[in-house]
């Protein structure tokens, strides 16, 4: 069996088209213009490119975008003042502070200062709590993208054995919490593996859905995968340089071998990656709807 390749690019394009239509309707019917503020501190090239892509994403679907670029030596106090200003700006529905921040700034102090109702990244403890009790409207963006890929690939989630490899706060834990909710597109039996797991293969071999977020190339090989499983590879590992000088990327799954065993699999690049910014846009639209009284948080 050769697996269906789940294209994150195609799914992201479809969701962006849906969001574009929704934003147009919000403007026309309700006079709501959703807006996202991004805050970039310093000139780290990866962060600059992420923030630029977020700005482009906003433009594509009709969101207002407010980009704040600050010098690397800005004080924590001044950054907190900007967050406070954005918290109180009615044109701003979502606030995204690009991480990592310079060493003299405490990331958590800044993230926890964001109004939870504008925390479209979903990292504020209030939103982490909402996620756990199944009341989140801002699921963290990468796990939200993973869930969309599973569902749009047509994989049934209710009652499925779902195994997550990795327990980070940004991927492993939130996707595990999301998929065990008694809710549509979830309701799975969830197991989480990590470096303390005694026999990871024992668990992965039972997985109808296997989500791998370890940050280690080939952490999952074909002998660890159940025939017919849906495999979501979250990993992004630089494994060299292409002939044109670009970084050569690989996921955490031995793609070539596992695709012969799985029924569906995401590639790297082009799988989970394209989904993350799209889910940020979706969360911003949700924030605008909540601010406009159309939905309840
Ligand atoms: P992380 O914070 O480094 O966490 C990795 C987790 O995997 C840890 O819980 C670790 O266990 C576990 N782990 C590592 N090696 C393992 C192994 N051999 N067997 C079992 N468990 C293992 O990483 P992360 O932030 O979750 O990111 C994971 C990967 O996803 C990275 O490659 C990252 O670049 C990628 N990523 C992609 C996107 C995207 O948009 N495409 C977004 C976020 C992350 P311990 O807890 O025991 O140490």
CB atoms within 10 A of CB 134: 13
* Per-residue confidence (pLDDT) for residue 1, from 0 to 100: 75
Q: Label residue 174 left, alpha or beta by phi (over 0 means left) and psi (-120 to 50 means alpha).
A: alpha
Q: Could you give the percent of the chain with pLDDT greater than 90?
A: 96
- List Cβ neighbours of 98 (8 Å cut-off, separation of 6 or more): 38, 39, 40, 41, 47, 50, 51
pLDDT tens-place string over residues 80-137: 999 999 999 999 999 999 999 999 999 999 999 999 999 999 999 999 999 999 999 9
Buried-state track 180-216, b at ≥16 Cβ within 10 A, e below 16 = bbeeebbbbebbbbeeeeeebeebbbebbbbbbbbee
Choose, from 93, 98, 147, 261, the residue flagged as catalytic.
Answer: 98
Give distance in angstroms: CA of 191 to centre of ligand 1: 15
**pLDDT, average across residues 257-268:** 98
- Going by alpha carbons, the residue nearest to atom 34 of ligand 1 is 236
- What is the pLDDT at residue 295? 94
Q: What is the pLDDT of residue 119?
A: 98
Could you please report the per-residue DSSP string of 172-190?
Answer: HHHHHHHHTSSSTT---EE
Report residues whose beta carbon is within 6 angstroms of any ligand 1 atom.
Answer: 142, 165-168, 170-172, 193-196, 200, 213-216, 219, 234-237, 272-273, 276
Helix axes 8-30, 141-152, angle to 10 degrees: 110
What is the residue-averaged pLDDT of the chain?
97
Span from the CA of 59 to the centroid of ligand 1 (angstroms): 31
Tell me the average pLDDT across 132-150.
Answer: 96
| pLDDT in the model for residue 122 | 96
Q: Tell me what pLDDT residue 297 has.
A: 81
Please state, for a pLDDT cut of 70, what percent of the chain lies above it.
Answer: 100
- Per-residue pLDDT tens over the stretch 181-200: 999 999 999 999 999 999 99
Q: Given ligand 1 and candidates 57, 168, 201, 210, which is best to mutate, with the most ligand atoms within 8 Å of its CB?
A: 168
Whether 121 is catalytic is yes
Give the containing element (helix H, strand E) for 191: strand 189-193
Catalytic residue among 93, 117, 119, 121: 121
Kind plus residue range of the DSSP H or E element containing 38? strand 35-41
Instruction: Judge contact between 229 and 262, C-beta under 8 A.
Output: yes
- Judge contact between 137 and 295, C-beta under 8 A: yes
| pLDDT (average), residues 200-206 | 98
* Pairing mode, strands 247-250 and 237-241: antiparallel
pLDDT tens sequence across 272-296: 999 999 999 999 999 999 999 999 8
pLDDT score at 246: 87
Q: What is the pLDDT of residues 14-51, one digit of tens each?
A: 999 999 999 999 999 999 999 999 999 999 999 999 99
In three-state secondary structure terms, 93 is: coil
């Amino acid at each position: 069996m050769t697996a269906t390749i789940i294209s994150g690019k195609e799914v992201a394009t479809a969701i962006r088209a849906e969001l574009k239509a929704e934003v147009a309707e919000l403007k026309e019917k309700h006079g709501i213009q959703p807006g996202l503020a991004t805050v970039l501190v310093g000139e780290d090239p990866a962060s600059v490119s992420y923030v630029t892509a977020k700005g482009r994403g906003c433009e594509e679907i009709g969101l207002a975008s407010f980009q704040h670029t600050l010098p690397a030596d800005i004080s924590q106090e001044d950054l907190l003042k900007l967050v406070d200003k954005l918290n109180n700006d009615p044109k701003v529905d979502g606030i995204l502070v690009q991480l990592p921040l310079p060493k003299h700034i405490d990331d958590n102090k800044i993230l926890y200062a964001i109004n939870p109702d504008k925390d479209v990244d979903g990292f504020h403890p209030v939103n982490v709590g909402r996620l756990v009790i199944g009341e989140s409207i801002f699921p963290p963006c990468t796990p939200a993208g993973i869930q969309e890929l599973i569902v749009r690939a047509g994989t049934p989630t209710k009652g499925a054995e779902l195994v997550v490899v990795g327990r980070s706060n940004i991927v492993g834990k939130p996707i595990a919490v999301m998929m065990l909710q008694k809710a549509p597109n979830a309701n799975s039996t969830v197991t989480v593996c990590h470096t303390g797991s005694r026999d990871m293969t024992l668990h992965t071999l039972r997985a109808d859905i296997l989500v791998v977020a370890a940050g280690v190339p080939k952490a999952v090989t074909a002998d660890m995968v159940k025939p017919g499983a849906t495999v979501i590879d979250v990993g992004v590992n630089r494994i060299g340089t292409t002939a044109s000088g670009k970084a050569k990327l690989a996921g955490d799954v031995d793609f070539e071998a596992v695709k012969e065993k799985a029924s569906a699999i995401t590639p790297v690049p082009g799988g989970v990656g394209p989904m993350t910014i799209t889910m940020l846009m979706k969360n911003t639209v949700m924030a605008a709807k909540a601010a406009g009284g159309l939905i309840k948080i």
